[in-house]
Amino acid sequence: MLRQRLQMAVHMVYPPRCLICGGLVESDFGLCGSCWRDTPFITGLVCDLCGVPLPGSSDTIEHCDDCLATPRPWTHGRAALTYRDNGRKLVLALKHGDRHDIVPTAARWMAQASRPLLGADMTIVPIPLHFYRLLQRRFNQSVLLAQAMARQTGLPCCPDALVRSTYTPSLDGKSRDERFATLSGALAVHPKRTGHLAGRRVLLVDDVMTSGATLAAATEVCLAADATEVFVTVLARVAKDT
Ligand SMILES: [Zn+2]
Ligand SMILES: [Zn+2]
């Protein structure tokens, strides 16, 4: 009751706005009707490894061509959005626009998309940014998403479980093979955090999955630190044919 009244008071001063166009909306952390329609939420049949939408329906676990061609070391994966239109806009605003207000809603969508994967013995772990890139950007959007997902799901989060062991040049514009080569050996489990992963299931969180090279490297080091299984969740999946 008190919370509702407080929320009403806050809304009178700061009315909730659409995360994309800034138009007024009825509830906090939402999108207006037209931005919602232009946002590529992933629903229906999806690839069980990367979350990309697949045509048709199926009673069995399906994998996309990309995941069939590139074996994934993790067990299951989901994505909330396809990386195009407003999906792309939201990721870029979060990554380069300091739009932290997107985080709670994005994490809610990610938690919904990942619901079939979530289990009690799971630890949420974000993909780390390299220190120098963290200095440039001042924050790691994956840490913010992971912490918000932890609040939504009640699962523990270990934000510094993984570290970058070498400086990785930007992957933008690199081919798939170059990405995998650049990233192998680039990630490590923080020496003081190995105990947090041993015997646990790990849910890796990142903002975007393109080739999956970063998530594959992160999965390998978690498994090497005796995590029992690794799952992945991203805000947006880059789909080849879109
Ligand atoms: Zn809008
Ligand atoms: Zn896939």
pLDDT tens digits, the chain, 242 residues: what are they?
A: 677 776 666 666 677 889 999 998 887 658 999 999 999 999 999 999 999 999 999 989 999 999 999 999 999 999 999 999 999 999 999 988 889 999 999 999 999 999 999 998 999 999 998 666 666 767 789 999 999 999 999 999 999 999 987 656 677 777 777 776 666 668 899 989 888 899 999 999 999 999 999 999 999 999 999 999 999 999 999 987 64
Which ligand gives the minimal distance to the CA of 19? Answer: 1
Nearest-angstrom CA–CA distance, 167 and 171: 12
Q: What is the pLDDT of residue 50?
A: 97
| Cα 130 to middle of ligand 2, angstroms | 26
| Cα 1 to middle of ligand 1, angstroms | 29
| Cα 21 to middle of ligand 1, angstroms | 4
Contact (Cβ atoms closer than 8 angstroms) between residue 83 and residue 39: no
CATH 3.40.50.2020 location in the chain: 44-237
Contact (Cβ atoms closer than 8 angstroms) between residue 236 and residue 90: yes
Q: What is the pLDDT of residue 206?
A: 96
Which ligand gives the minimal distance to the CA of 65? Answer: 2
150: nearest Cα among 123, 187, 120, 188: 123
| Residue showing tokens 């990942």 | 114
- 190 — alpha (psi -120 to 50), left (phi > 0) or beta? beta
| Cα 24 to middle of ligand 2, angstroms | 36
| Cα 5 to middle of ligand 2, angstroms | 45
| Cα 118 to middle of ligand 2, angstroms | 19
- Main-chain dihedrals φ then ψ at residue 41, nearest 5 degrees: -65, 140
Q: What is the pLDDT of residue 242?
A: 45
Beta bridge partners of 130: none
Select the CATH number that applies to the domain covering 44-237 from these four: 3.10.50.40, 1.20.1250.20, 3.40.50.300, 3.40.50.2020. 3.40.50.2020
Nearest-angstrom CA–CA distance, 94 and 89: 9
Contact (Cβ atoms closer than 8 angstroms) between residue 127 and residue 171: no
| Cα 191 to middle of ligand 2, angstroms | 31
- Main-chain dihedrals φ then ψ at residue 126, nearest 5 degrees: -80, 155
* pTM reported for the whole predicted model: 0.87
